[in-house]
Structure formats: structure tokens, C-alpha cells
């Protein structure tokens, strides 16, 4: 009874705080100065048509590096916690046969999903999308493979290799920025190129390809670890 | 009254409502998986309210293409910074959710129970 009362009090208090924010909220008419600078000069300074990408990869590239690191640590901890016990590792599970619809659809759809993922992260500087979204799409393709062929085993070695290579590549590109351009993770390492084409915006496409591969392999790793725990009794 | 019937205000109310629902789920549910789901709902509500703050009336997404007058972008685009922050926040949310599910599986491996009341090690 006391416990329910306390929960009720917490919820009411939280609602009061939020409604205070809500009542004083009014949509602004103008961009604030910082956003105005990004919107006005993003195209000429960074060369990316998608200004969100310009903010994510270049203006706040350091944040993104931290974000990729957090995802990496998560994948590592999940892999560590869900490491299959010796006796579970090679246990054969009796599984119901995959339905015809799913197996046929997966052979048709998986290559298409991978292609869509690659398209999304390669065009991250031109269209909505980017490395994280493309990587997540690739991971959904991997989920489809797991669902249609549950007996398939992922080679964690290859996944870890792709992941660490792209992570190191990202940091190397960032460090190159110190020597060849204005600073860490600056995108002027490569020429800016013609605005709106796929080889423009300096190293942004390169960084997003690396992030896409990294996020895709990390999410696949997490899903693979979660799947392997199913071998437990 | 009409000042409250705008798109950004509706989105913000929705986001706050989702946050309260998520907190309620976190506090009242007994099943560990449902607690994780409550956390994910809270996360979604937070993202929606951040995005609703960046919306400006009659403006479009900050992507320059042929249909946009490139010299007048400051009057055409919404704020790109909260969108970039929410991109970060979504990825972190995925990481936190995966981590919590891994903990839940680990706890289940120890006691074969998903009820939070059977984990009394930290109670006094």
C-alpha cells in the first residue's frame, strides 16, 4: 500500500515537472544563432547536402566517435555476459522446419536489404540516412538470415575483424585531419568536390561507410550473442 | 486555446505522455522484460520531445536539393542540431536496451525466474 502510494507520488511529481515545461513551451520562429550558422554555412564549409550529416560527422564528429565507442563497449559487454557455457556451445537443438514462405522470401530479400543498407550509408551526405541507419538495416538482413536458417553459425572472428578495422580506420581518418586539415575529424582531408555528387564532402562518405560497417557488424554481434543463449536448457 | 493545437505542441504532449507511461511501467511491472520495455518507451518519448523542440512552423528538413533556394536556407530549414542529438540518443538507447536484455538473460540463467521479487540479494 505504502509502495503504491510512493509510486503514485513519483509519477505525479514527474507529471508536474513535465507540465511545467509544457506550459512554458512555445515554438520559436527563428533558428538560434548556432543552428543558423550551421544551416547557412554548412554547405560551403563542409560540402554535405544533408546538414544533419554535416553536424553529426564534422561539426560534432567527436560526439559521434564517442557514440561509436559506446556501441562497441555494449557489444563487447553483451558478448562477455552471454558467452555460451562449454556444455551449451555445441548442443543440437531440434527446431521446427522453417516455413516455405520465410525461406523463399529470405533468399529474395536478404541481398536487397544489404544493398539498401549500403545505399543508405553511402549516400548519407546527400539524402536522409547515414552510417547508423545503414548499419541497422544491414543488421535486419542478418536477423532475417538467422530466422530463416537457425542452424547457421556466425563467424565471430570475421565480424570482429570488420568491426575493429573500420573502427581503427575511423580514428586514423580523424588523426589525419590534424595533419592535413584544420583539426581532429575535419573533413577537408580529401578535396570537397562538386556539391551534391556522391564523391563530395571530403571524407564524410568514407567515414559513413566505416561507421555503417562497424554498426552493422556490432548489431549482428549482439544479435548473434542473444541467439546463442538459446542453446541453453 | 489555439496556441496549444500546433504540431510541435501535440508532439511534445505525446512525448511526455510516453515518458510517463514508460516510468509507470518501470516502477510497477514485476516482469524483468516488461521493465526493459518500459525503459524503451521512456526513451522513445524523450526522443519525440527533443525533436518537437526543433520544429519550426512551415519549414522543411535540413537537406539542400534542387527544390531549395540555397541562399535562403536560414528561413527554410528546421534546426539540425536536435536531430543530430536524437540520432546519437537512439543509438545509445539501442545499446542500453541490448545491455539490459543481456543482464536479464544472465539473471534468468542464475535463478530461472523473470519475476523481480525473486531477486532479493540487494534488499534489506
A209 SS3 class: helix
Q: Does B73 sit within 8 Å of A40, measured CB to CB?
A: yes
Architecture of domain B2-57+78-115: Orthogonal Bundle (1.10)
Interface probe, candidates B5, B8, B91, chain A, greatest A C-beta count within 10 A? B91
Chain B CB within 8 Å of residue A120 CB = no
Nearest to B80 among A14, A15, A35 (CB): A35
* Shortest distance, CA A91 to any CA of chain B (angstroms): 16
Distance CA A70, CA A51 (A): 24
* Shortest distance, CA B41 to any CA of chain A (angstroms): 15
**Pick the residue with more confidence: A17 or A225?**
A17
Q: Does B55 sit within 8 Å of A39, measured CB to CB?
A: no
Which residues from chain B sit within 8 angstroms of residue A132, using beta carbons? 87, 90-91
Question: Structure pTM?
Answer: 0.82
C-alpha grid cell, residue B89: 540518443
Distance CA B86, CA B84 (A): 5
Stretch A137-151: mean pLDDT? 86
Among chain B residues, the shortest Cα distance to A196 is held by: B65
Distance CA A224, CA A84 (A): 11
Q: Does A29 sit within 8 Å of B56, measured CB to CB?
A: yes
pLDDT recorded at residue A176: 83
C-alpha grid cell, residue A158: 570475421
What ipTM was predicted for this assembly? 0.80
Which residues from chain B sit within 8 angstroms of residue A126, using beta carbons? 63
Q: Does B8 sit within 8 Å of A11, measured CB to CB?
A: no
pLDDT recorded at residue A150: 77
pLDDT in tens, B83-114: 888 988 888 898 899 899 888 888 888 888 88
Across chain A, which distance is largest between two alpha carbons, in Å? 67
Q: Does B102 sit within 8 Å of A78, measured CB to CB?
A: yes
Q: What is the dihedral of CA A205, A210, A211, A212, to 10 degrees?
A: 90
pLDDT recorded at residue A27: 67
pLDDT recorded at residue B35: 92
Amino acid at each position: 500500500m505504502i509502495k503504491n502510494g510512493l509510486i503514485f507520488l513519483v509519477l505525479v511529481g514527474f507529471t508536474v515537472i513535465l507540465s511545467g515545461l509544457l506550459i512554458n513551451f512555445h515554438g520559436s520562429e527563428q533558428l538560434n544563432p548556432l543552428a543558423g550558422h550551421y544551416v547557412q554555412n554548412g554547405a560551403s564549409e563542409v560540402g554535405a547536402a544533408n546538414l544533419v550529416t554535416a553536424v553529426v560527422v564534422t561539426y560534432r564528429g567527436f560526439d559521434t566517435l564517442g557514440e561509436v565507442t559506446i556501441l562497441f563497449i555494449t557489444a563487447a559487454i553483451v558478448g562477455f555476459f552471454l558467452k555460451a557455457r562449454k556444455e551449451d556451445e555445441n548442443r543440437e537443438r531440434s527446431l521446427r522446419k522453417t516455413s516455405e514462405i520465410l525461406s523463399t522470401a529470405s533468399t529474395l530479400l536478404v541481398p536487397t536489404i544489404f544493398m539498401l543498407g549500403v545505399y543508405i550509408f553511402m549516400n548519407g551526405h546527400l539524402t536522409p540516412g547515414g552510417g547508423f541507419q545503414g548499419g541497422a538495416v544491414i543488421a535486419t538482413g542478418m536477423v532475417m538470415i538467422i530466422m530463416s536458417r537457425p542452424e547457421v553459425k556466425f563467424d565471430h572472428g570475421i565480424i570482429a575483424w570488420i568491426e575493429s578495422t573500420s573502427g581503427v580506420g575511423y580514428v586514423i581518418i580523424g588523426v589525419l585531419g590534424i595533419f592535413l586539415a584544420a583539426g581532429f575529424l575535419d573533413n577537408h582531408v580529401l578535396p570537397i568536390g562538386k556539391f551534391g555528387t556522391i564523391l563530395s564532402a571530403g571524407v564524410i562518405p568514407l567515414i559513413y561507410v566505416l561507421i555503417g560497417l562497424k554498426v552493422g557488424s556490432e548489431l549482428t554481434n549482439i544479435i548473434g550473442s542473444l541467439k546463442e543463449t538459446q542453446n541453453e536448457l | 486555446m489555439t496556441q496549444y493545437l500546433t504540431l510541435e505542441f501535440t508532439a511534445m504532449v505525446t512525448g511526455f505522455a510516453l515518458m510517463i507511461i514508460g516510468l509507470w511501467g518501470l516502477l510497477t511491472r514485476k516482469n524483468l522484460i516488461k521493465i526493459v520495455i518500459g525503459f524503451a518507451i521512456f526513451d522513445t518519448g524523450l526522443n519525440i520531445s527533443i525533436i518537437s523542440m526543433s520544429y519550426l512552423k512551415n519549414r522543411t528538413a535540413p537537406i539542400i536539393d534542387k527544390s531549395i533556394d540555397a541562399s535562403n536556407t536560414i528561413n527554410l530549414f528546421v534546426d539540425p542540431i536536435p536531430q543530430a542529438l536524437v540520432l546519437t540518443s537512439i543509438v545509445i538507447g539501442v545499446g542500453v536496451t541490448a545491455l539490459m536484455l543481456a543482464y536479464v538473460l544472465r539473471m534468468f540463467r542464475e535463478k530461472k525466474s523473470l519475476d523481480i521479487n525473486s531477486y532479493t540479494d540487494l534488499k534489506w
